[in-house]
Structure 1
Amino acid sequence: MPDHDPDELDSFAAILTQLLPGAWTREFRQHTAHDDQHFLTSDVWDMNQVAEALASRTLEHDVILTRDDGLRLFLMDHPRHDEEFLVASMAPANTHTEAFRGVREPDGIAISADPEQATEAITTSLLPRYESALAQVQDNAARINSRPAGADTLVLTWTDTADLSATTEERDVAEVLVGNGFVHDPESTSYVLSGDDTAQQAQSVRAAGTRLAAIGIGVVLRHAPHRASPGTMPVGATPQASARTVRSR
């Protein structure tokens, strides 16, 4: 089914900017067959009917609605219903990919071509889910960005029993470790990965390293420092720590 008349979509969007709560502007975009559709729609925050519509057709035109606080909506023709449009949230730009981890997409909705009905649907159904998801992403991004610069390496230390031990006070780093087989010592900030099954241990380390790299943290393996025999440690010497607290960029 062909797109609606481009003027119809733009006119509809213009009315929405007046009816939606807050101050909105619109950007009407027309595309050619040579435009990169994936790039143009990469920020559309949807894994449901809007994503399906974009995957099944060539996009000829769309509208980006932007609220004065930066929140954006993507508006397009409905591919199967002349009297409806599709609208979806747009993910915040320049945000670390890891900040979206665990956050459910605020999938878009079909809206009536009647602007007042469409406004009510957007206001009561889409925007609350969008703002909730956006708040989660912003909170995750703030935690990722709050770590002091310069300490972006997690040290995994081999113990005498071939286990691996790591120390961190960062919640997202701890979640990665626990999610990949490390066991938390409740009396400390240490996380231990058993060496009973070396193949499984290696697999867990690789998986954890991949996840940590995604949030800007490198991983190094070190052997535990040699402990001098009783009575031979120099006076005033202090045992070296097995691992340090991890912080990101």
Structure 2
Amino acid sequence: MPSARADLSLFASALAARLPGQWTSDYQQHPTYPDQFGAIERLWDRGHVEYIVSQYVLGHEAVLHGPDGQHLYVTDRPLRPGQFVVAPLVPDVAPHHLVGVEEPNGIAVPSDPVRTAARIARRLLPRYEAARNAVRRSLVDRPQPPHRKAPPQVDQTLTLTWYEDGGARDAVRGRPGGSQGSAVRPRVPVRAPPGRVPPPRLVRRGRSRRTDPGRRPAARRARDRREPASRHANRQATPPTGRGPARTRTARSPSRPRPLTTSTKDNAISTRSFIARPTATGYEGIYCHYDGYPDHQLPLLLGAARYRFGGDLDALRRHLIDGPHDWRQLGVDLLDRAPDSVRERLDPHGDLGPSAPFDNVFNVDGTPAKPIPVTDANADAMGLEWGYILHDHGIEVIALTWYDIGPIVPWDTDPLSRISGTPSLWDSKRPAPIQAPSTPLKITKPVAPAPAPARPRITR
């Protein structure tokens, strides 16, 4: 029979009284799993303590405050009821002072405060003090972060403009305020490789994105600064003298949907989202870690409702929301029973894998952690960027970095539509930024082959 786990609050108080010097204990509980994320940023550990904090739902923690700004993190050791883990916390210094300093790392200790205090004084505190001394030396040797040398000033600037047919023309101009005039050089024919487009564009996980900074509301500019760099706007190139404004062509026809992409450990940039059902007070749903943009999620949700679940929205909600886990990402298995033409256009290279559950988070006893419901009360605090609420009449898409509500995308929307991933365009007061394909899907019954003509009868 497993032994009962020792009380962390009492253990931390007894341990603080036995460490050398004056130590105090600060105990804190975590009502939800995201509340313990702050400990990951403060840990001075690259070993098993960091793994425990990032992979298990701990529920509580204790921080010991010692002399000269020393701080130790204490929590339960999962799967070991009679043990705890202790790790030092990073000092409050600029990040460049920690470069080249070896982490002191934490240790596992028994539930006996006397034996634990002896182990910490013998094994952990000397490493902790050596690392702190290295940081002190860095504060003296490198008081300021390293800066690159500024580029030299030039007398002329070059503006390169791309045109629709792949050509380019550059205009040489003098310094602002200078007396030098401008000269337009002849057009240079530049061709891009097949399938590639020369105009400068922002790329995220293999998909092109554009934004329109001039149309965002002034009240949301500060909020927009917290968005990833891939959502910042491109600067429009200045057209040369004597020609109209330069136009930028897209890699695909407007009627052709963007292929879905999959995330890997090498190129994945998590775009966190949630999938929810409406409630009387708002919504309640489940977390999805990767590929939260509408041009990835909406084709899968619309295709799943149309093909795999045959219009049964309750079955779709149960499959996506009522499972025992969060989602790492949604995948091509939602397009089961879809025509091959639809699957090939949404996943032309076969890169998109099946839906992956987020099932590597555990409780301290080793059991899988239950997913935390995402609601309108905690969605902002969890740092989510997109939300998809599965109503009976359509999918409400919310760009959480801009709005609290969003437009409705009807369930009969073609999954092959071209869908914008720009957050500012998903305003509930405007239609959803979706462009239907030029050749919409048509569901027709197969035509029976015509009977063969009767052969003439030959008589003698």
TM-score range, shorter chain: 0.5 to 0.7
1:35 is displaced (CA, Å) by 3.9
Question: Residues 96 and 141 of structure 1 are in contact (CA less than 8 Å); yes or no, is this contact kept in structure 2?
Answer: no
The question of whether the paired residues in 2 share the 8 Å contact of 1:65 and 1:73 is answered with yes
Deviations 1:104-157 (A, max 9, x none): 111100001111110111000000001100110121123222x6xxxxxxxxxx
Partner of 2:37: 38
Match of 1:131 in 2: 129
Q: Work out whether residues 58 and 76 of structure 2, in 8 Å CA contact, stay in contact via their aligned partners in 1.
A: no
* Aligned residue number for residue 51 of structure 1: 50
Amino acid at match of 1:24: W
Query: 1:209 — aligned with what?
Result: none
Say whether residues 1:220 and 2:150 are aligned partners.
Answer: yes
Change (3 A) 1:142 1:38: farther
- 1:27 maps to 26
Aligned to 1:101: 99
Q: CA RMSD in A?
A: 2.1
How far residue 24 of structure 1 moved from its aligned partner, in angstroms, is: 0.4
Identify the residue that residue 14 of structure 1 maps to in structure 2: 13
Counterparts of 2:132 and 2:48 in 1: how far apart (Å)?
20
Asked whether the equivalents of residues 21 and 67 of structure 2 are also in contact (C-alpha less than 8 Å), the reply is yes
Question: How many Å separate the matches in 1 of 2:74 and 2:140?
Answer: 29
| Structure 2 SS opposite 1:219 | coil
Shift of 1:96: 1.1
Aligned equivalents of 2:16 and 2:36: distance in 1?
25
Which residue identity does 1:124 align to in structure 2?
A: R
Work out the CA distance in 2 between the residues paired with 1:34 and 1:128. 32
Which residue does the alignment assign to 1:245? none
Deviation of the 1:222 alpha carbon = 3.5
Q: CA deviation at 1:76?
A: 0.3
Q: Distance in 1 between matches of 2:20 and 2:117?
A: 9
Secondary structure of the residue aligned to 1:85 is strand
- The residue aligned with 2:381 is none
1:92 corresponds to: 91
Separation in 2, partners of 1:107, 1:62: 17
Q: CA deviation at 1:75?
A: 0.1
Structure 1 residues not aligned, in runs of 5+: 148-214, 224-249
Give the Cα–Cα distance (whole angstroms) in 2 for the partners of residues 88 and 40 of structure 1: 11
State, as a whole percentage, how many aligned pairs show the same letter: 31
- State whether residues 33 and 59 of structure 2, in contact with CA within 8 Å, keep that contact through their aligned partners in structure 1: no
Structure 2 match to 1:68: 67
Give the Cα–Cα distance (whole angstroms) in 2 for the partners of residues 42 and 130 of structure 1: 17
The structure showing larger relative contact order (alpha-carbon pairs under 8 Å, at least 6 residues apart) is 1
Do the aligned partners of 1:19 and 1:119 also contact (CA within 8 Å) in 2? yes
**Per-residue deviation, 1:55:** 1.6
Q: Comparing both structures, which one devotes a greater share of its residues to helix?
A: 1
Give distance in 2, aligned partners of 1:79 and 1:109: 14
What TM-score do the two structures reach when normalised by structure 2? Answer: 0.31
Q: Secondary structure at the match of 2:104?
A: coil
Could you report, residue by residue, the CA deviation over 1:139-178 in whole angstroms, capped at 9, with x for unpaired residues?
1123222x6xxxxxxxxxxxxxxxxxxxxxxxxxxxxxxx
CA-CA distance at 1:216 after TM superposition? 4.9
Residues in 2 aligned to 1:125 and 1:80: alpha-carbon distance in whole angstroms: 23
The structure-2 alpha-carbon separation of the partners of 1:34 and 1:87, relative to structure 1 and needing over 3 Å to count, comes to closer
Q: Distance in 1 between matches of 2:91 and 2:9?
A: 23
Distance 2:140 2:57 in 1: 37
Select the structure of larger CA radius of gyration: 2
**CA positional deviation for 1:60:** 0.5
CA contact (8 A) 2:74 2:85 kept: yes
Q: Which runs of 5+ in 2 are unaligned?
A: 154-460
TM-score, scaled relative to structure 1: 0.57
Query: In 2 relative to 1, CA 40–49 (structure 1 residues): closer, same or farther, beyond 3 Å?
Result: closer
